[in-house]
Amino acid sequence: MRDDAARRRRRVAPAVADRPRDIPQAERPRPGSEPAAAREAPPAISARDVVAYLRRHPDFLDRHPEALRALGAARRELGAEVFDFQHFHIERLRRDLARLAAEQRNLVAAGRATLASQSRVHKAVLAVVAAGSFEQLLQTVTTDLAVLLDVDVVTIGVESAVPAARLGVQGIRLLPTGAVDALLGAEREVLLRADMAGEAALFGGAAGLVRSQALLRLGFGRGAPLGVLCIGTRQPGRFQPGHGTELLAFLARVIGVTIAQWLTPRG
């Protein structure tokens, strides 16, 4: 009997040694350290779950219209040689919606660009009006306006019979009589060139930088020679024919009137 009990104890001993409590504490796996594959994966979302969610939130597509654009139009089986015009109509509405969204983005961008241009012109007008002398006025127009308007060069062309070599003012270009009307036309006040190299007669040494330009008529009063305000930038397409010219024309009128006031004898 004693031998049988001893044999039974020897058979049970290996099983007891394999229990977790006999494993050293440092070797036991910690909670949460199981491999990712052993963890339970989150349940997949079924079509029934999506439908149930939409029923509980009927305003979901109102709050997220982009989700509607990602859905495809349902096709209905109507039989042989029967076409589902509803599907084509929905697709056309989708295209119209995309086109309207693009037009809206373009309008917003154009509005922001107009506000930016308006702010630049307003600052330029204030700088011109604030000039304390005729020399400072010319420097403001031919130097500071390039920074204020975010362009590369601004010059003033004035019709005169005086040779250009006799003029020592930087940024002032002398033009032959009749050059302004020949350049702009007798009735035109503003000429925009989208992509055209600058002329040395208008922009001097900076003509090589100019790819897009705005030319604006300057009037200095009755009996005074005509002038032209030349604005040039290296960015092609900056000044496009057909763009609004009211702001630039207003700036040119302010410059012309201010120059005329400084040229008028006071007393």
Q: b or e along 40-79 (b: 16 or more beta carbons within 10 Å of the residue's beta carbon)? A: eeeeeeeeeeeeeeeeeeeeeeeeeeeeeeeeeeeeeeee
Within-domain flag for 259: yes
Q: 250 is in which domain, residue-wise? A: 110-263
CA angle 11, 16, 18 (to 5 degrees): 110
Within-domain flag for 46: no
Q: Which of 129, 113, 124, 227 is nearest to 174 (CA)?
A: 227
Within-domain flag for 145: yes
The CA-to-CA distance between both ends of the chain, in Å, stands at: 143
Bridge-partner residues for 64, per DSSP? Answer: none
Between CA 185 and CA 217 the distance in angstroms is 10
**Which pLDDT does position 16 carry in this prediction?**
44
Return the structure tokens found at 60. Answer: 């979901």
**Which pLDDT does position 81 carry in this prediction?**
64
**Which pLDDT does position 11 carry in this prediction?**
54
For residue 174, what is the domain's CATH number?
A: 3.30.450.40
User: What does pTM read for this prediction?
Assistant: 0.61
Return the structure tokens found at 133. Answer: 């002398």
Relative to beta strand 153-159, strand 190-193 is unpaired
- Alpha-carbon torsion (39, 45, 48, 49), positive or negative: positive
Contact at 8 Å (CB) between 234 and 217? no
**Which pLDDT does position 241 carry in this prediction?**
87
Within-domain flag for 100: no
**Which pLDDT does position 15 carry in this prediction?**
46
**Which pLDDT does position 80 carry in this prediction?**
61
Provide CB contacts within 8 A for 118, sequence distance 6+: 247
Return the structure tokens found at 53. Answer: 């969610």
Q: Which of 136, 137, 117 is nearest to 256 (CA)?
A: 137
Within-domain flag for 94: no
Within-domain flag for 50: no
Q: Which H helix or E strand runs over 61?
A: helix 60-63
Q: How many domains does the chain have?
A: 1
3-state secondary structure of 173: strand
Starting at the edge strand that comes first in sequence, how are the strands of the sheet with 190-193 ordered?
Answer: 172-175, 153-159, 227-233, 212-218, 190-193
Within-domain flag for 61: no
Q: b or e along 112-125 (b: 16 or more beta carbons within 10 Å of the residue's beta carbon)? A: eeeeebeebbeebb
Within-domain flag for 198: yes
Tens of pLDDT along the chain (267 residues) come to 555 555 555 554 444 444 444 445 555 556 555 555 555 667 788 888 888 988 898 888 788 877 766 666 565 565 566 666 676 777 788 888 888 888 888 888 878 877 888 899 999 999 999 999 999 999 999 999 999 999 999 999 999 876 554 556 788 999 998 999 999 988 889 999 999 999 999 998 899 999 999 999 999 988 888 999 999 999 999 998 878 889 999 999 999 999 999 988 765
